[in-house]
Amino acid sequence: MVVYQPGNRRRTILALIVLTAVTLITLDVRGSGPISGLRGGARDVVNPIAGAFETVFSPVGDWIDGVTSAASLKDENARLRRRLDAARGQQAAARAATQENKDLKKLLDLPFVDGADAIAAQVVEGAPSNFEFTVQIGKGESDGVGVDMPVVTGAGLVGRVLEVSHDRATVLLIKDPESGVGVRIEKSGTPGVVKGRGDSDTLRVDFVDPNADVTKGEVVYTSGQQNSPFPAAVPVGTVSKVSKARGDLQQDVLVKPLVDFSHLDYVKVLRPPPGR
């Protein structure tokens, strides 16, 4: 006679749970269509509740945030005022350079981001996990947002659309380790791939020719190569560190992003040009 022990039942339940979870993980990793539909549906159900909750409780979060960051906000305010004064001085010189740039680009027929069809969106939520670097924007499928569309601000590249539901979209930031962006370095035109480094405040550029002349302060732009979701000439960041060891197959280049990811309020989602 088989005696049914409580331990058997426990192990059976645990085994069933583990098997179900592993099956779901495998299906999702292989790109099962129903699972992304499930995610979109879940967001559409929860978003109204989350929106109402946020409306009621966001002043609490803002108050706590203000209390804990009052000192740093004062310092940042002073620093930004100094930068604003410097930027005003550079503005006049930049106007002439911009006009010359526009004329040259017309001659070269390069894609020009300013003319792109874009959807403005507000950033409504941060990442719901400590291990991913995403934001939620308040525009979705119903507004014309699609997967893999690039996302930018006035400063530069933010990332690309990862998932879309009816009225929200998840944007994968370029600082996420899963993100990779084809780029060129300003003066030499050297190609590379910018990879995120998580919560570090710099990005890494891989596959930089060890013989290329890369200097600190150079701007890094998207290369806009074929099949890339990112159009060309979108600023990504500035080179902050270059190091090269003898015999290395590539240079170690770090880039400081132009976008301030800790203060992301409004972004633009770029629609692909017709025929792309």
Decide if residue 266 touches other proteins (CB under 8 A): no
Instruction: Take residue 31 and report the two structure tokens written for it.
Output: 């790109």
**Interface characters, 188-227, with other proteins (x: CB under 8 A):** ---------xxxx---------------------------
Backbone angles phi, psi at 218, to 5 degrees: -65, 145
Decide if residue 4 touches other proteins (CB under 8 A): no
Q: Kindly give the pairing relationship between strand 191-195 and strand 235-243.
A: unpaired
Residue 111, C-beta contacts closer than 8 angstroms, at least 6 positions apart: 224, 231, 232, 233, 273
The DSSP secondary-structure symbol of 51 reads H
Among 89, 171, 135, residue whose Cα is nearest residue 262: 135
Instruction: Take residue 21 and report the two structure tokens written for it.
Output: 């979870």
Residue whose CB is less far from other proteins, 165 or 190: 165
Which 148-167 residues touch other proteins, going by CB under 8 A? 162-163
Residue whose CB is less far from other proteins, 25 or 97: 25
User: What residue ranges in 146-234 does DSSP mark as E strands?
Assistant: 150-152, 157-164, 169-173, 180-185, 191-195, 203-206, 219-222
Among 8, 37, 46, 80, binds other proteins (CB under 8 A): 46
Decide if residue 127 touches other proteins (CB under 8 A): yes
Among 8, 37, 53, 122, binds other proteins (CB under 8 A): 53
Stretch that binds other proteins, among 40-48, 201-209, 222-230, 246-254 (CB under 8 A): 40-48
Rounded distance, CA 163 to CA 168, Å?
Answer: 9
Residue whose CB is less far from other proteins, 62 or 248: 62
**How many residues belong to the site for other proteins (CB under 8 A)?**
52
Q: How far is the CB of 80 from other proteins (least distance, A)?
A: 21
Which 14-33 residues touch other proteins, going by CB under 8 A? 14, 17-18, 20-25, 27-29
Burial class (CB in 10 A: 0-12, 13-18, 19+), 231: buried
Decide if residue 70 touches other proteins (CB under 8 A): no
Decide if residue 73 touches other proteins (CB under 8 A): no
Among 71, 127, 78, residue whose Cα is nearest residue 261: 127
Q: How far is the CB of 95 from other proteins (least distance, A)?
A: 38
Please report, to the nearest 10 degrees, the dihedral formed by the alpha carbons of residues 155, 159, 163, 166 taken in order: 10
Where on the chain is the footprint of other proteins (CB under 8 A)?
9-10, 13-14, 17-18, 20-25, 27-29, 35, 38-39, 42-43, 46, 49-50, 53-54, 57-58, 60-62, 64-65, 125-132, 134, 136, 162-163, 170, 172, 177-178, 197-200
